[in-house]
C-alpha cells in the first residue's frame, strides 16, 4: 500500500516517480472515503444525531473543501471554486479563513444534494491531479507537504465518518447495521500481563522521519517514574464486574465533573450497551449484538475510564509512558482492513496499536517549544490545547498506516461516541 508519508518532502526536485507516487496516494485515499460510503442509503447521508457528529455528506464535502481552500488557490491563483457558497457551509472551524455554518446544524443542509457533492469531489480531484502533475519544481516540496497533510486530514475524517455513522444509526429504534457482513471478533479472554518499565528520561514526539501533525512536535525529553503497563485493554467482562459492584453508584470512584455528568445524563453503562431480557446487548456497526465478554470495552468517557482504574486499584497511563512503549512495538493491529470495525480480543502478542484509542491521564497541551503551522492551517491542532485529554494507539476504525507511536489524538473527557477504550497502569516504588 502506498503511503504519502514516505515521500521525500524536503526534496524540491519534483521527479516523475515522486509525482506518480503522490497522485497514486491521492487517488487511493480519496477512493477509500467513497468506498466507506458505499453501504449507505441515500437518506443516511443526511443524518446528524448529536452536535459532535456530522452527516456523511458533510464529511465527504469537507475533505474536498480542505484542498479547495488550502491547496488549489495557493498554487493556482486563477483557480475558480466549484461553488463559492461551499466555502461557508463546508468550513469546519478555520476562523482565520472565514465564517462557517454552525456545526450543530449541518444535518439541516438538504442542499447541495449527494449527487452534487460527488460532482464537487470530482471537480476538486481533477484540478488536484492536474496540479500535482504540472506544479513547478520550486513549489514541489511545499505542494507535497500540503497534499500529504490534506490526505492525512481525510483519513481522520474516514475514521470520524464511521464513528458518526454508528451514533447516527444507534438512535434509530430499528437499530440498522451499517454493514451486515461484518465479522464478530472472537477469542480467549487471557489474563492481563504487566510490563515493567524503568524510570528515567525518555524522548517522545515525532522523530523527524515521515509525516506527523504539528502537535507531535518538537521531540523532547520527559522524566518518567518506574511503572507498569497492562499489555492489553480492559475487557467487557472485566468492566461488567465494575458495573455489578456498583461502580456507577459510588461517588468515591469518580472525578467531580464525572459524577455530576452521571447525575445529569443517567449513565449506568458504556454507550451502546442495552439490557434486553436480562442480557446485555451492544450496538455495533454490524447492528445490535449480544455483548461478547472477551472483547475490549469501548465507547467510554475519560471519566468512566478513570473511575474503573481507581476501582481496580490502578490508574490511567501517562501519554509519555504509553508512547515510549508504543515506540518499541510493531505497528500492527486491528484497523479498518481487519474486517471487523469493532475491537477484538487481545492476542498473545499484546494489544498496542488498533482496536481502541486508549485514554491517558495526560491533558492535551503543547509540547515545550511547540510551533503551529503557519496561516490558517495553524488552527488544525494548536487552538484545541485546553480542556481535552490525550488518547493513543489508534482504533479499529483507523485506516492502516495512519497512526504511529507519536500520534496524539484528543477528545473532551465527557465524550463517548468515539472508539475509546481503557488501558491500566500503576506506579512501581
Q: Is the pLDDT of residue 240 over 70?
A: yes
Question: Following DSSP, what letter does each residue of 76-109 receive, concatenated?
Answer: -TT---S-TTHHHHS--S-TTT-----GGGGGG-
State how far the alpha carbon of 204 is from the alpha carbons of 221, 222, 272, 394, in Å. 6, 7, 35, 17
pLDDT at 429: 81
Task: Judge whether 154 and 33 are in contact, CB under 8 Å.
Answer: yes
Residue 35: cis peptide before it, omega within 30 degrees of 0? no
**Region 236-257 average pLDDT:** 98
Q: List pLDDT tens digits, range 350-364.
A: 999 999 999 999 999
Q: List pLDDT tens digits, range 312-362.
A: 999 999 999 999 999 999 999 999 999 999 999 999 989 999 999 999 999
**Which pTM was predicted?**
0.94
**Region 79-88 average pLDDT:** 96
CA 12-16-21 angle, to 5 degrees, is 90
pLDDT at 9: 42
- Which residues face 145 on adjacent strands? none
pLDDT tier at 182, thresholds 50, 70, 90: very high
Q: List pLDDT tens digits, range 84-109.
A: 999 999 999 888 899 999 999 999 99
Q: List pLDDT tens digits, range 208-219.
A: 889 999 999 999
pLDDT at 68: 97
Q: List pLDDT tens digits, range 386-421.
A: 999 999 999 999 999 999 999 999 999 999 999 999
What average pLDDT does the chain have?
94
Q: List pLDDT tens digits, range 136-172.
A: 999 999 999 999 999 999 999 999 999 999 999 999 9
Question: Following DSSP, what letter does each residue of 143-210 receive, concatenated?
Answer: HHHHHHHHHHHHHHHHHHHHHHHHHHHHTSTT---S-TT--------PPP-EEEE--EEEEES--SSS
Grid cell in block for residue 115: 449527487
Which one, of 390, 402, 396, lies nearest residue 331 by Cα? 402
Amino acid at each position: 500500500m502506498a503511503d504519502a508519508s514516505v515521500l521525500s518532502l524536503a526534496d524540491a526536485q519534483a521527479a516523475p516517480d515522486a509525482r506518480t507516487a503522490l497522485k497514486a496516494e491521492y487517488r487511493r485515499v480519496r477512493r477509500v472515503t467513497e468506498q466507506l460510503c458505499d453501504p449507505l442509503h441515500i437518506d443516511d447521508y443526511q443524518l446528524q444525531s448529536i452536535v459532535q457528529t456530522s452527516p456523511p455528506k458533510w464529511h465527504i464535502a469537507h475533505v474536498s473543501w480542505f484542498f479547495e481552500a488550502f491547496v488549489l488557490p495557493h498554487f493556482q491563483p486563477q483557480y475558480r471554486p466549484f461553488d463559492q457558497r461551499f466555502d461557508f457551509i463546508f468550513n469546519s472551524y478555520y476562523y482565520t479563513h472565514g465564517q462557517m455554518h454552525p456545526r450543530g446544524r449541518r444535518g439541516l443542509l438538504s442542499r447541495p444534494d449527494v449527487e452534487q457533492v460527488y460532482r464537487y469531489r470530482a471537480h476538486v480531484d481533477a484540478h488536484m491531479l492536474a496540479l500535482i502533475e504540472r506544479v513547478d519544481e520550486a513549489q514541489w516540496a511545499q505542494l507535497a507537504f500540503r497534499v500529504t497533510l490534506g490526505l492525512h486530514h481525510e483519513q481522520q475524517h474516514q475514521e470520524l465518518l464511521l464513528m458518526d455513522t454508528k451514533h447516527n444509526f444507534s438512535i434509530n429504534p430499528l437499530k440498522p447495521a451499517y454493514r451486515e457482513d461484518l465479522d464478530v471478533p472472537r477469542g480467549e479472554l487471557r489474563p492481563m500481563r504487566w510490563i515493567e518499565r524503568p524510570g528515567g528520561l525518555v524522548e517522545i514526539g515525532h522523530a523527524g522521519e515521515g509525516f506527523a501533525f504539528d502537535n507531535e512536535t518538537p521531540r523532547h525529553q520527559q522524566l518518567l517514574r518506574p511503572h507498569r503497563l497492562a499489555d492489553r485493554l480492559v475487557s467487557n467482562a472485566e468492566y461488567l464486574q465494575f458495573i455489578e459492584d456498583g461502580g456507577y453508584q459510588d461517588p468515591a470512584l469518580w472525578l467531580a465533573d464525572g459524577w455530576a455528568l452521571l447525575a445529569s445524563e443517567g449513565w449506568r453503562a458504556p454507550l451502546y450497551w442495552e439490557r434486553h431480557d436480562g442480557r446485555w446487548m451492544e450496538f455495533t456497526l454490524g447492528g445490535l449484538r449480544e455483548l461478547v465478554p472477551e472483547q475490549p470495552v469501548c465507547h467510554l468517557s475519560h471519566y468512566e475510564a478513570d473511575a474503573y482504574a481507581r476501582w481496580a486499584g490502578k490508574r490511567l497511563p501517562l501519554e509519555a509512558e504509553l508512547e515510549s512503549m508504543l515506540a518499541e512495538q510493531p505497528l500492527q493491529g486491528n484497523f479498518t482492513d481487519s474486517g471487523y470495525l469493532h475491537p477484538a480480543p487481545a492476542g498473545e502478542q499484546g494489544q498496542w496499536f488498533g482496536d481502541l484509542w486508549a485514554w491517558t491521564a495526560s491533558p492535551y497541551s503543547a509540547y515545550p517549544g511547540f510551533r503551529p503551522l503557519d496561516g490558517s492551517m495553524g488552527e488544525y491542532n494548536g487552538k484545541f490545547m485546553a480542556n481535552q485529554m490525550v488518547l493513543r494507539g489508534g482504533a479499529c476504525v483507523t485506516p492502516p498506516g495512519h497512526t504511529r507511536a507519536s500520534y496524539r489524538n484528543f477528545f473532551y473527557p465527557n465524550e463517548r461516541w468515539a472508539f475509546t477504550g481503557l488501558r491500566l497502569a500503576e506506579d512501581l516504588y
